[in-house]
Structure 1
Amino acid sequence: MNDDKEPQGNPWIKSAMIWAGVIIALLLFVSMFDNRSTTAGGAAIAYSDFRQKIQDGQVKEVAVAPDRITGTLSNDQKFQTVPVTDPNLTTLLDDYGVKYSGQAEEQPSFWMILIYQSLPFLLILGIAFFVLRQMQKGGSSGAMGFGKSKAKLLTEKHGRVTFDDVAGIDEAREELQEIVEFLKDPTKFARLGGKIPKGALLVGSPGTGKTLLARAIAGEAGVPFFTISGSDFVEMFVGVGASRVRDMFEQAKKNAPCIVFIDEIDAVGRHRGAGLGNGNDEREQTLNQLLVEMDGFEANEGIIIVAATNRPDVLDPALLRPGRFDRQVVVPRPDIEGREKILAVHMKKVPLAPDVDARTIARGTPGFSGADLANLVNEAALMAARRGKRLVAMDEFEAAKDKVMMGAERRSMVMTDDEKKMTAYHEAGHAIVAIHEPASDPIHKATIIPRGRALGMVMRLPERDNYSYHRDKMYANLAVSMGGRVAEEVIFGYDKVSSGASSDIQYATRLARDMVTQWGMSDKLGPLQYEEQQGETFLGYSQSQRVHMSNETAQAIDHEIRTIVETGYNRAKELLKKHEDELHLLANAMLEYETLSGEEIRKLLEDGEITRDDGTKIKPSNVPAAGSSIPKTRRRKGPFGEPAGQGA
């Protein structure tokens, strides 16, 4: 674990400098002995040149040794050469009057021999000492510190977080308040024989504030807070994860009472026996060590484990039993009250215009998590900065909400007039059906500006948070989802139906399947479950598996799903044919103004025009008069056996 002291330089740089110094010293040592004879004997020349210089009278004196000949020239320049077998050398020297002498072979000293012999052993011992020093070094900074924990110690210097910074999850905060009281005053519970839970598991969707809540516990209690990710335990080396778990608890004991927070614990705490290692998998060894440390023979007093995951279904049962993670605290997505409080926390850092209403924004963001709301406020601030404003107004929050929920506008996307007209009638079909379905949510906004992967969109927002849906609302949603497809058939004919309704059909089919197989809303099949959900919902889709059933039952399920979807289709066709004038009116208004709010759509259908806040009136042109109809073309049978709509 790392403490909060500033590191004294980079240990890797230190190691590199040490090794560079050792290598340079060796090179200097070798070069010194290699060049010793060269510097003492002078420049090296060939033996033939040596004989020629004697004959030319350029050699003054020489010293003959078994392995070399050194001497001085007439100009006092030193030289040396390697001798060859030449019995006439002394005669040649005598003939030319060169003074010569013998020289014994140079023998290295005792100390030099000792250095030569011991240098390899000294080098090996130096490397071993360096490796052992790195392995014994505290923390995981050492080059061989595989088994050291990577947990980081956070203190007030890193930013203290309290429960005042956590909003929208009051129930979860209350459940963890007891842990804070224990850390502040352990004797209060010990007097009555009570034991504080050893671990608390925070369960919730991504972005709901699990990590922030764990930091708030430490901030309120004023104790050390160690944080580590579940993936930091597992490495490619066998036994490293278990060693890191042991080291983490050893460091935690030194700082007790403290909190150890393990984020994404499902990375290491998955159900055992599901791997490929026959129980000896590295991840499973790490989990075994974690289980022992949390509740083994040795008591870890004063250490509270707080873990977070959004996949509680994959965790090992032994990890969730009492004595380890005693409590499972659900951190849900905030309701409208919670969203308003979370927005208030994040809006404190942003200069707001007077027209900003956190309640209105909270109402328009159902299903948003705390992270989503923080991102919304940030997007609004960035948008106001791009527009050169000094305050963030409600317009920026609305634009940011549309960007987050529907995607960025793709105004550079070029659409033909026919495609724009098809999109306008498609979205108008959704809107008209939604308006005339009593159980449908009210329309917030309709647009034909491409956003994300959609060419247009009708956004509906509930007036309050919904935790369950009734049958009439489900049938209303089916009719609304079919409204776009039906509008294309009614206006452009059966042959001109586009692929734009693919996501609508997918939604309707999935909803009808859930109604039949999981919610028991089929009169023919009764209140029975025919599919069981596997695991948590992922990306909006629940992984389900059909239970064992006969072929006749499976066929009956498929028939009921088709019947329910056809009911929504027929309901949408009935409404759009009945209110075809409104369909034309709204489609033409969207062609002219591209985006209309829910209130503007309501005024348009009631009065035939829209009066905006600035006093301008919007009245779409080229709208058929009331009671008139578009020219008729040939009819073909639709996909459900009924006549297709009139051609345009």
Structure 2
Amino acid sequence: MSDMAKNLILWVVIAVVLMSVFQGYSPSSSTKQKMDYSTFLDNVKDGQVNTATVKSDQRTIEGTTRTGEKFVTVMPLPDLDLINELNRKGITFKGEEAEESGFLTQIFISWFPMLLLIGVWIFFMRQMQGGGGKGAMSFGKSKAKLMSEDQIKTTFGDVAGCDEAKEDVKELVDYLKEPTKFQKLGGRIPTGVLLVGPPGTGKTLLAKAIAGESKVPFFTISGSDFVEMFVGVGASRVRDMFEQAKKSAPCIIFIDEIDAVGRQRGAGVGGGHDEREQTLNQMLVEMDGFEGNEGIIVIAATNRPDVLDAALLRPGRFDRQVVVGLPDVRGREQILKVHMRKVPLADGVKASVIARGTPGFSGADLANLVNEAALFAARNSRRVVGMEEFESAKDKIMMGAERRTMVMSEEEKEMTAYHEAGHAIVGCLVPEHDPVHKVTIIPRGRALGVTFFLPEADAISQSRRKLESQISVAYGGRIAEDLIYGSEKVSTGASQDIKYATSIARNMVTQWGFSEKLGPVLYAEDENEVFLGRSMGKSQHMSDDTARVIDTEVKLLIDANYGRAHTFLTENMDILHSMKDALMKYETIDSNQISDLMARREVRMPAEWEKDLESDDSDNNDTSSEKTEEIKEVKEDKPDVNDVDESPAK
């Protein structure tokens, strides 16, 4: 029976008792008129009383008047002369026993407020003791949701792209299925497993797969569910959660975003008496205290392991840290195949090609990519999802959504084209830089134009030459504007480029040891904030002279790469004009067209344009001559670097 049904029955019983009490107490007074004793004596003297009945308590008198009305009166004191007066007036009178129920009823009525108070107190106590935290007053009960073994359908087959992490946690499944195998050799399964990794890499999905494979009860809760405004509630919920888990052992407790409650104690300001720290202390005790928690495995997930308390990470609590990192190209291919099962695919879709073009994507990003591609196909009334939709979805995620409704003047459009062409040309000429994949002057996101570079492989580390090339490419857009329009008309469009280049140069000098004058020494400031918990102030790591040398080295590094980009663009001014013309005409150019421009060849038409022209030509065979002339006209209008005016910049 549910708690709501129990509460309803309780209130119905209280209502029935009240009705019976009042009905049993009020009948005598509802049909008889109450009369003062002095009025009764006057009526007796006037002969208005017909009959009278004296109760055995000699205080209560009931009777009727000559008119037939019933009355009741109470003598304030025993009156022995009343009998003689009734005889003189010829009034019929008799005696009766007093009703015992009236006395009991009066006792019950007098005690009823106290009984009602006790009943209300019992009701609220039952609410506070309601299991699972479902009662109205169950502040201290755990909010963990219990999922039985039949409810979890996720298995390791649904988790892709993290083979190493799956191998680390498969031991948990084996232990939960066959614990004696490990106990025979004196082995002890880890009490807790901490899943660490960037957002969207599948930490929660991996925990569900562990529960689905091991077929045990699965308690899931978020770290924020423990903390409330009332001190002590979080600790009570931790105790209740582990008590419930002990009843269902062997089982798994999954705490998502544990950094919400497991941050370092004594962080910055404040003492150790706040609600969060009490909750953390209780969790430490429950995981590894005097009482053992045999058969309970705690799995927690976070993307901020650096802020967790050291006592939480020690062996005996979270014995093992499993890193769920970003997938490599093979992992991305596997993840894409998992998500592509849910959508109808065209014949030419290859997950391997998409995986190579999405470096740095997490599992959530890839799921979003497949979903966006399906939305593009539905928007275009397609029945299947093809590579074109996947390419559009990838561009939207990487470069931002197109803002074709944004109105740009021809002058702003031309300046944007020169700016993006400067990035692309320098990117093609500097060593070890990622290849240019696509250049567009269609506003995307918050940018007026985007030059997108696609790595050929997943980058693990970067060389000094590649970092310097990135600085040169970052300044390519600003240098192009300066060469074409002069320093007086340079726009603010390079603000993010300058910030990015300066950040790389400063890290090269202060963190990565790429300065010959300063050497391989760490000069970076301590950037730990107060809430991370180590100190309120920042310690000084360098002298003023050293800071001055750092600024000088950063400036020299930027000037050198700025000058290199300036030289490349000055020597290839014809390509800069040609790429601007191509961008003004097509708005977006791909790697094939960029290769044509850099080789000073005739620029090919975009693949989409060629496809549209071919489809139009096949649909209109009767007007093939007219369509041929249109194609010829379009091709003749394509920019050719040989026809570019090589006059000096204005």
- Taking structure 1 as the reference length, what is the TM-score of the superposition? 0.81
Q: What's 1:629 paired with?
A: 646
1:412 aligned to which of 385, 405, 408: 405
Corresponding position of 2:475: 482
Q: Which residue of 1 aligns with 2:171?
A: 178
Q: Identify the residue that residue 608 of structure 1 maps to in structure 2.
A: 602
In the alignment, structure 1 residue 110 sits paired with structure 2 residue 119? no
Match of 1:166 among 150, 159, 168: 159
Tell me how far 1:357 sits from its aligned partner. Answer: 1.3
Letter in 2 for 1:629: E
In structure 2, what is the equivalent of residue 588 of structure 1? 581
Structure 1 CA distance for aligned equivalents of residues 637 and 553 of structure 2: 42
Q: Give the aligned partner of residue 462 of structure 1.
A: 455
Structure 2 counterpart of 1:352, from 331, 337, 345? 345
The answer for the alignment partner of 2:389 in structure 1 is: 396
Which letter does structure 2 place at the counterpart of 1:365? T
Query: Compared with structure 1, are the counterparts of its residues 594 and 62 closer, same or farther at alpha carbon in structure 2 (3 Å cutoff)?
Result: farther
In the superposition, relative to structure 1, how do residues 250 and 583 fare at CA in structure 2: closer, same or farther (>3 Å)?
Answer: same
- CA gap of 1:119–1:483, structure 2 versus 1, over 3 A, is same
In the alignment, is the contact (CA less than 8 A) between 1:208 and 1:371 conserved in 2?
Answer: yes
Tell me the equivalent position of 1:452.
445
Q: CA deviation at 1:109?
A: 3.4
Once the two structures are superposed, residues 250-300 of structure 1 have per-residue CA deviations (whole angstroms, 9 ceiling, x without a partner) of 111111111111111111111111275522222111111111111112111
Q: Is the contact made by 2:149 and 2:211 (CA closer than 8 Å) also made in structure 1?
A: no
Match of 2:365 in 1: 372
Partner of 1:189: 182
Aligned to 2:277: 284
User: Could you report, residue by residue, the CA deviation over 1:85-117 in whole angstroms, capped at 9, with x for unpaired residues?
Assistant: xxxxxxxxxxxxxxxx99xxx999334423431
Which residue number corresponds to residue 523 of structure 2?
530
Distance in 2, matches of 1:32 and 1:403, equals 79
Query: Which deviates the most, 619-628 or 572-581?
Result: 619-628
Q: Quick check: 280-289 or 11-20, which moved more?
A: 11-20
SS at match of 1:500: coil
Could you tell me which residue of structure 2 aligns to residue 598 of structure 1? 591
SS of 2:483 mapped into structure 1: helix
Indicate if the aligned counterparts of 1:581 and 1:626 stay in contact, CA closer than 8 A.
no
Matches within 5 A, 1:467-616: 467-531=460-524, 534=527, 548-606=541-599, 607-611=601-605, 612=607, 613-614=610-611
- Secondary structure of the residue aligned to 1:301 is coil
Change (3 A) 1:482 1:618: farther
Which amino acid in 2 is paired with 1:609? V
CA separation in 2, counterparts of 1:291 and 1:472? 48
2:604 aligned partner, one-letter code: I
Deviation at residue 480 of structure 1 after TM alignment: 0.8
1:20, distance to aligned residue in structure 2 (A)? 8.5
The 8 Å contact of residues 416 and 441 in structure 2, kept in 1 or not, is answered as: yes
Partner of 1:324: 317
In the other structure, the counterpart of 1:205 is: 198
Alignment of 1:132-171 (within 5 A): 132-171=125-164
TM-superposed CA distance for 1:438, in Å, is 2.8
Q: Which moved more, 1:196-205 or 1:23-32?
A: 23-32
Match of 1:238 in 2: 231
Residue 333, structure 1, aligned to residue 326, structure 2: yes
Residue-pair matches, total: 579
Quote how far apart the aligned CAs of 1:435 are.
Answer: 1.3
1:135 shift after superposition: 2.1
Q: 1:24 to 1:472 in 2, by over 3 A?
A: farther
Instruction: Write the letter of the residue equivalent to 1:485.
Output: R
1:342 counterpart = 2:335: yes
Task: State how far apart, in whole Å, the 2-side matches of 1:498 and 1:34 are.
Answer: 93
Deviations 1:313-367 (A, max 9, x none): 1111111111111111111111111111110111111110011111111111111
Structure ranking higher in helix proportion: 2
Code of the residue aligned with 1:575 in structure 2: it is F
Pair 1:130–1:367, CA change in 2 (3 A): same
Aligned partners of 1:483 and 1:573 also within 8 Å: yes
- Greater CA deviation, 112-121 or 164-173? 112-121
- CA deviations on 1:497-531 (whole Å, 9 max, x unpaired) are 00111111110011111101000111222111101
**Aligned equivalent of 1:272:** 265
Query: SS of the counterpart of 1:158?
Result: coil
| Pair 1:308 & 2:293 matched | no
Does the aligned pair in 2 maintain the 1:350–1:392 contact within 8 Å?
yes
The answer on whether the counterparts of 1:233 and 1:244 sit within 8 Å (CA) in structure 2 is: yes
The CA deviation at 1:534 is 4.4
Distance 1:586 1:62 in 2: 124
Bigger CA drift: 578-587 or 11-20?
A: 11-20
Change (3 A) 1:545 1:285: closer
Q: Is the 8 A contact 1:588 1:623 kept in 2?
A: no
Deviations 1:350-401 (A, max 9, x none): 1100111111111111111111111111111122112111101111111111
Alignment partner for residue 290 of structure 2, among 282, 290, 297?
297
Cα offset, 1:491, TM superposition: 0.9
Instruction: Give CA deviations for 1:144-168 in whole Å, capped at 9, x if unaligned.
Output: 2122111111234434111111111
Deviation at 1:409, TM superposition (A): 0.9
CA distance in 2 between counterparts of 1:38 and 1:572 reads 106
Equivalent pair of 1:584/1:623 in contact (CA under 8 Å)? no
Question: Structure 1's 377 and 27: CA in aligned 2 closer, same or farther, altered over 3 A?
Answer: farther
The letter of the residue matching 1:209 is: G
TM-score (norm. length: structure 2): 0.81
* Residue 363 (structure 1) aligned to one of 341, 351, 356: 356
Say which SS state the counterpart of residue 575 (structure 2) adopts: helix
Contact 1:229 1:262 in 2 (8 A): yes
The 1:216/1:124 distance shift into structure 2, 3 A limit, reads same
Mapped to 2, the partners of 1:388 and 1:415 lie a distance apart of 30
Q: In structure 1, what residue type is equivalent to 2:111? A: S
What is the aligned-residue RMSD (CA, Å)?
3.6
Give the residue type in structure 2 aligned to 1:555: R
Tell me, which stretches of 5 or more residues in structure 2 are unaligned? Answer: 34-47, 52-63, 72-91, 530-536, 615-630
- Kindly indicate whether the alpha-carbon contact (under 8 Å) linking 2:441 and 2:587 is maintained by their aligned counterparts in 1: yes
In structure 2, relative to structure 1, the CA distance for the partners of 1:276 and 1:523 (3 Å cut) is: closer
Indicate if the aligned counterparts of 1:531 and 1:546 stay in contact, CA closer than 8 A. Answer: no
Contact 2:223–2:257, Cα closer than 8 Å, also in 1: yes
* Whole-angstrom CA distance in 2 between matches of 1:321 and 1:120: 57
For residues 209-228 of structure 1, the aligned pairs below 5 Å read 209-228=202-221
Q: CA deviation at 1:137?
A: 2.0
Give, in whole Å, the separation in 1 of the partners of 2:26 and 2:547.
90
Give the secondary-structure state (helix, strand or coil) at the position aligned to 1:531: coil
Q: What pairs with 1:424-439 in structure 2 (closer than 5 Å)?
A: 424-439=417-432
Q: 1: CA distance between counterparts of 2:261 and 2:289? A: 18
Change (3 A) 1:442 1:36: farther
